[in-house]
């Protein structure tokens, strides 16, 4: 039987290795977005839609707001948010993988977005001041963390009083899945 | 997927760190077929799912939720 993964560093490394190995995905998360949203993105970016939902509309973004996207990957939701907050607003995409951030920077440049920056950091330790941002987004990333309470506490800390969180993520009922599946290493990254 | 929480646990964790007005706006079944589209689900994991899950469970191996919450003013 597959050995269970009990250590958070081991899980984080496994997730990082799995995402680092992704070469040319075919936009599995594309189904979650509206045609209008898809039209805003470069076709090359759409292939990197790895999220599980569409949290941007739920955030009800307004012009001028500051936004952070946790575990932003190639910056799909960050780009959509950047278009909504406009030039008076700003979006910061945070991800632990430099290769994903490089893609995000390329896609943002291709889309002509100057109000979007990417930061290499872990979502469990955000390099952000307290009470500083209006909105925290995340799409399919929090379930990948071995320290979810820490991620949520960091999101809370970074938000200004009155700020908003909008998250799309997977939930499961552990009783519905056999242990052989739950303990499979790939199931931590997928 | 293995790190995903039950919805009630996720909501409770949000509330514990201080979020209020926690709302689950959307729930979408995440099927094995959907998982197979993601490169993170490896062939051996998908084979395991194919072998161990009953047909009904393959239609919803997880749930994709959209959750909103606020930090009190």
Whether the predicted pLDDT of A1 surpasses 60: no
Q: Which residue(s) pair with A180 in the sheet?
A: none
Q: Using the beta-carbon criterion (under 8 Å), do A171 and B44 form an inter-chain contact?
A: no
Cβ neighbours of B45 in A, within 8 Å: 181, 184, 186-187, 190
Q: Using the beta-carbon criterion (under 8 Å), do B4 and A172 form an inter-chain contact?
A: yes
Q: Report strand pairing: A133-139 vs A66-70.
A: parallel
Is A47 touching B (CB cutoff 8 A)? no
Chosen for mutation from A163, A187, A188 (greatest number of chain B CBs closer than 10 Å) is A187
d(CA A66, CA A61): 9
- Reported as a pLDDT band with limits 50, 70 and 90, residue A6 is low
**Locus of tokens 């008076």:** A88
Cα A40 to its chain centre, rounded Å, is: 18
Cβ neighbours of A184 in B, within 8 Å: 2, 44-45, 48
Of A56, A48, A108, residue with least CA distance to A79: A108
Q: Using the beta-carbon criterion (under 8 Å), do A50 and B3 form an inter-chain contact?
A: no
Is A183 touching B (CB cutoff 8 A)? yes
pLDDT tens-digit series, residues A54-91 = 999 999 999 999 999 999 999 999 999 999 999 999 99
pLDDT tens-digit series, residues B7-62 = 999 999 999 999 999 999 999 999 999 988 888 888 889 999 999 999 989 999 99
Q: Which residue(s) pair with A118 in the sheet?
A: A93
Q: Using the beta-carbon criterion (under 8 Å), do B72 and A161 form an inter-chain contact?
A: yes
CB count within 10 Å of CB A166 equals: 26
Q: Please name the residues between 72 and 131 in chain A that touch chain B, using a CB distance below 8 Å.
A: none
d(CA B7, CA A171): 6
What per-residue confidence (pLDDT) applies to A4? 47
Tokens of A11: 């899980």
**Locus of tokens 């949000």:** B14
Torsion of CA B37, A183, A74, A122, to 10 degrees: 170
Whether the predicted pLDDT of A24 surpasses 80: no
The C-alpha angle A83, B20, A148, rounded to 5 degrees, equals: 75
Residues 6 or more apart from B3 whose CB is under 8 A from it?
A11, A143, A144, A145, A146, A148, A188
- Contact, B3 vs A11, CB < 8 A? yes
Q: Please name the residues between 25 and 44 in chain B that touch chain A, using a CB distance below 8 Å.
A: 25-26, 28, 30, 34-35, 37-42, 44
Tokens of A170: 């997977």
Please tell me the distance in Å from A169's CA to the nearest CA on chain B.
5
- Contact, A90 vs A63, CB < 8 A? no
């Amino acid at each position: 039987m597959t050995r269970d993964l009990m250590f958070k560093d081991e899980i984080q490394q496994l997730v990082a290795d799995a995402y680092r190995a992704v070469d040319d995905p075919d936009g599995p998360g594309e189904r979650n977005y509206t045609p209008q949203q898809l039209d805003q993105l470069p076709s090359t970016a759409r292939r990197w839609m790895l999220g599980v939902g569409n949290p941007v509309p739920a955030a009800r973004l307004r012009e001028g707001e500051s936004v952070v996207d946790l575990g932003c990957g190639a910056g799909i939701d960050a780009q959509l948010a950047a278009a909504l907050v406009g030039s008076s607003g700003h979006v910061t995409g945070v991800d632990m993988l430099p290769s994903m951030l490089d893609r995000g920077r390329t896609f943002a440049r291709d889309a002509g977005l100057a109000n979007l920056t990417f930061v290499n950091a872990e979502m469990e330790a955000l390099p952000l001041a307290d009470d500083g941002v209006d909105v925290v987004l995340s799409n399919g990333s929090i379930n990948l963390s071995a320290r979810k309470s820490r991620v949520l506490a960091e999101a809370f800390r970074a938000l200004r009083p009155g700020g908003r969180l909008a998250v799309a993520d997977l939930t499961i009922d552990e009783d519905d899945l056999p242990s052989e599946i739950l303990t499979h290493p790939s199931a931590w990254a997928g | 997927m293995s790190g995903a929480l039950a919805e009630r646990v996720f909501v409770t964790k949000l509330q514990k760190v201080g979020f209020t007005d926690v709302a689950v706006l959307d729930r979408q079944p995440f099927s094995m077929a959907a998982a197979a589209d993601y490169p993170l689900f490896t062939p051996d994991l998908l084979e395991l799912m194919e072998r161990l899950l009953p047909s009904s469970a393959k239609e919803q191996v997880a749930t994709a939720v959209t959750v909103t919450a606020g930090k009190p003013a």
